[in-house]
């Protein structure tokens, strides 16, 4: 078996996506393609650092300018942005091109870019009147939310939604999709070609019937569907 990829997670908040990734890799056991070995935040108070410490994962507090050094010194193979709000320097995105992922709580290219994060995204979605939002996982380049899209999963916008209720439903979809994409990239099932095209991902092929009925009762079925799409 080839060596597992060394994964670093960059986070600015509480780290629920970090937890989902750690839990998913642990559940895969010996089949997992990588291990989270480092969690980096821009401030000591980030809740993601507490989650990492409880899991026995090394932590670091670093400015964006220091990221290249922090990641390079630890021989990081794959960099995962999980609620990381700072712009990653171009020299870092270039060095880890095709090996740096981000999750965004909307269907890019809509509702993305500078200043659109967290509740701001969901308020913008509701104000627009669209009936479908969702999750996007993409490779990272030097611009906010503009890297090549790997996978998307739609989430319905309901008549009674607030920014908070929509955010909660989108976050559940993030927790299903993002860890599986991370593992797929780690094992080489998803790659970014020299031509900038993604190979092995999926975008726009998620079955709306499952996406629109995302409940605790059918999360396992949706997880299986995501796995099948990532392997197709």
User: Which residue range forms the structural domain that includes residue 23?
Assistant: 1-96
Residues 198 and 85 reside in one and the same domain:
no
Residues 92 and 111 reside in one and the same domain:
no
Residues 50 and 22 reside in one and the same domain:
yes
Residues 78 and 163 reside in one and the same domain:
no
Helices 119-128 & 163-186, crossing angle to 10 degrees? 120
Domain total of the chain: 2
pLDDT in 10s for each residue of the chain, 232 residues: 578 999 999 999 999 999 999 999 999 999 999 999 999 999 999 999 999 999 999 999 999 999 999 999 999 999 999 999 999 999 999 999 999 999 999 999 999 999 999 999 999 999 999 999 999 999 999 999 999 999 998 899 999 999 999 999 999 999 999 999 999 999 999 999 999 999 987 755 555 544 555 666 667 777 777 777 776 5
Cβ–Cβ under 8 Å, residues 15 and 179: no
21-50: string of b/e by CB count within 10 Å (b at 16+)?
Answer: bbebbeeeeeebbbebbbbbbbeeebbbbe
For residue 138, indicate whether it is catalytic. no
From the list 24, 104, 122, 175, the catalytic residue is 104
- pLDDT recorded at residue 227: 76
CA distances (Å), origin 42, targets 36, 108, 150: 18, 25, 26
By residue count, the chain amounts to 232
**222 burial via Cβ count (<10 Å: 0-12, 13-18, 19+):** buried
- The C-alpha atoms of residue 44 and residue 48 are separated, in whole angstroms, by 10
Residues 218 and 113 reside in one and the same domain:
yes
Of 79, 96, 113, which residue is a domain's last? 96
Residues 59 and 162 reside in one and the same domain:
no
- pLDDT recorded at residue 229: 74
- Type and span of the H or E element at 153: strand 149-156
Residues 161 and 139 reside in one and the same domain:
yes
Residues 15 and 42 reside in one and the same domain:
yes
- The C-alpha atoms of residue 212 and residue 111 are separated, in whole angstroms, by 20
- Which residues share a beta bridge with 58? 38
Of 73, 96, 119, which residue is a domain's last? 96
DSSP-H helix ranges across the chain: 16-28, 47-54, 67-73, 90-95, 119-128, 163-186, 208-211, 219-231
Of 55, 77, 96, which residue is a domain's last? 96
């Amino acid at each position: 078996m080839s060596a597992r990829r060394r994964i670093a997670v960059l986070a600015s908040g509480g780290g629920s996506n970090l937890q989902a990734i750690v839990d998913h890799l642990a559940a895969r056991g010996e089949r997992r393609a990588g291990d989270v070995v480092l969690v980096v935040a821009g401030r000591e108070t980030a809740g993601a650092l507490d989650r990492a410490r409880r899991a026995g994962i090394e932590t670091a507090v670093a400015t964006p300018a220091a990221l290249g050094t922090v990641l390079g010194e630890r021989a990081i193979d794959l960099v995962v942005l999980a609620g990381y709000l700072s712009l990653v320097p171009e020299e870092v995105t270039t060095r880890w091109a095709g090996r740096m992922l981000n999750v965004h709580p909307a269907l890019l290219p809509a509702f993305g870019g500078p200043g659109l994060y967290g509740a701001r995204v969901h308020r913008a979605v509701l104000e627009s009147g669209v009936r479908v939002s969702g999750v996007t996982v993409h490779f990272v380049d030097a611009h906010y939310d503009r890297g090549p899209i790997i996978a998307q999963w739609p989430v319905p916008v309901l008549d009674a939604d607030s920014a908070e209720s929509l955010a909660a439903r989108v976050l559940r979809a993030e927790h299903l999709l993002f860890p599986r994409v991370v593992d797929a990239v780690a094992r080489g099932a998803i790659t970014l070609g020299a031509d900038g095209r993604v190979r092995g991902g999926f975008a726009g092929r998620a079955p709306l019937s499952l996406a629109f009925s995302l409940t605790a009762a059918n999360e396992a079925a949706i997880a299986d569907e995501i796995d099948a799409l990532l392997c197709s």
